[in-house]
Structure 1
Amino acid sequence: MTRDPDRPRSYTLAGSRQFAARPAPGLHVVATPIGNLSDISVRALETLAGADVIACEDTRMTHRLTDRYGIETALIPYHDHNGASMRPKILARLAAGEAVALVSDAGTPLISDPGYKLVVEAAEAGFKIHPIPGPSALLAALVAAGLPTDRFLFDGFLPPKDGQRRNRITELKPFPATLVLYETGPRLPESLADLADILGPRPAAVCRELTKAFEEVRRGDLSALAAHYAEAGAPKGEIVLVIGPPAEEAAEDDDVDAALTRALADHSLKDAVAAVTALTGRPKREVYARALALTRTDADG
């Protein structure tokens, strides 16, 4: 369905009807509230009201937002199950010069949702991608957790199967950064038990229903949190896990040299130094000096 060009483009804010200009042609990736509908930005409202169409995961979810703000833009479904058939249709709209808004059910699109493939194909086809920033569950949880924010690693959802989940946690263990994970309520007790078993008593926070009426941030070490939810049972709602980085332990020189030797076998000096610096937590300048020493030794030999 093509939008009637003569149809008013507007939205309602604080009881007042606001005019919305038509956005520039292209794909507009629009962040929407993760719970509290008041968290929407004015720019997001203008984009959604002015766009020719809104592509969304679940039209029922997005209707709650558009109805709240009196937005009449047509909605079309775009999700994991219809993505292959819908992407050509959306690309055809972009080719016709339309402004297409892309939203997820909540938060910033492309973060653990199906928007990624659409953005990749739109960009490859030469269409302009317009980011409209706003709410994000992972950032909201990170700032509420009370854990280091200078370096963090987001890894989405842990695998649902026990063996795969434990393997993934083991892979994440050495990263010298705060970990941010998504999890479902039913799987939370088992995931926390595995995290506590493999990562040890790291400080962590379970952030649940952020920005909603029953928002909760429960802090403690992983063992304590695992014990709590083992007894209390699976909670309801959307959950973000934030886990503190491993305690800093100075790597032995031999360990650094061994890691550099492995890295230098497959990578450039620069990339090997960066990888080993991240892995060991040793100062970059020191790792670089040891890498130079190793390469000189190999050359002399």
Structure 2
Amino acid sequence: MTTALATPPTPVRRKGIKSPYPTWFYAPAAALFIVFFAVPTFASFYFSLTRWTLFDVQFIGMDNFVQFFKEPQLVQGFVNTFIYGFVTSAAKVVIGLGLALLLTGPIIGRGYLRAVVFFPVLVSTIGVGLTFKALLDPFHGAVNAVLGFFGLPQPGWYTDPTLALLTVAGVDIWKGVGIATLIFMAGIVAIPSEYFEAARMDGAGAWAVFRNITLPLVRPATATVIILSLIGGLRSFDLIWAMTKGGPGFTSDVIASVIYKQYQAGFFGLSTAGNVVLFIVVTAIMVPVSWLLNRKEAEL
């Protein structure tokens, strides 16, 4: 009896269907990107090398950058930008993960608490800044009134040079932690429940489950929160301007507020150079951070 050897079937090559749809599908987004991002970006690089007004443009080379780095508040603005960005980003990661663990667990009123945590995200940033400026007023604010009632110190939240920047950072964390919590919650609920059941059957405690299952598997969510929070912190302006306007002195100034002050003073070329500096700083920080986080995620 002979056994016929089975030969694998020859794969059938299908002719590709030519359609303009995949290419043209991106055309509207590409047009918006070019008009609202690419063109203004390249224009900013050009105008940063000029002394310009609405009616005149004079090319002066790198003079704007030299002058910008001679401004005394710029050094303070650089330091404050990094402090503000890293403090708010780290706090949103830690607090957001903690709240996400709480709000994905079996607690009473879970839906209501989720809404409470996310609500500040929906409120206008300027409105939040003005509200907290009134609440934290050193002389007439409700917060110091309550502290005084209990005999506790009443600090100058945004008038004390050592507290102003951290006070604004705290308000920023309160407002933005809802987004971080939402992202972490999505990452946690996506973890298969079989992992947790197997860990409990093996006698693992809550800390062991968190360290060995939850924390590694929410790494993509962690990377997303870090990137979004850090970009937002390094570019922050509206909340700082609403609460302190960079004061007292230059103690809560960041690069964005320094740029805006140059615009107010009529130094348009100088402030455009500051925008270019801010763009380069954010890019120089975020590109390696994003690469590092994505690389670790790929190795997972």
TM-score tier (shorter):
under 0.3
Q: TM-score normalised to the size of structure 1?
A: 0.22
Per residue, is there more helix in 1 or in 2?
A: 2
Per residue, is there more strand in 1 or in 2?
A: 1
Q: TM-score normalised to the size of structure 2?
A: 0.22
Larger relative contact order (CA 8 Å, sep ≥ 6): 2
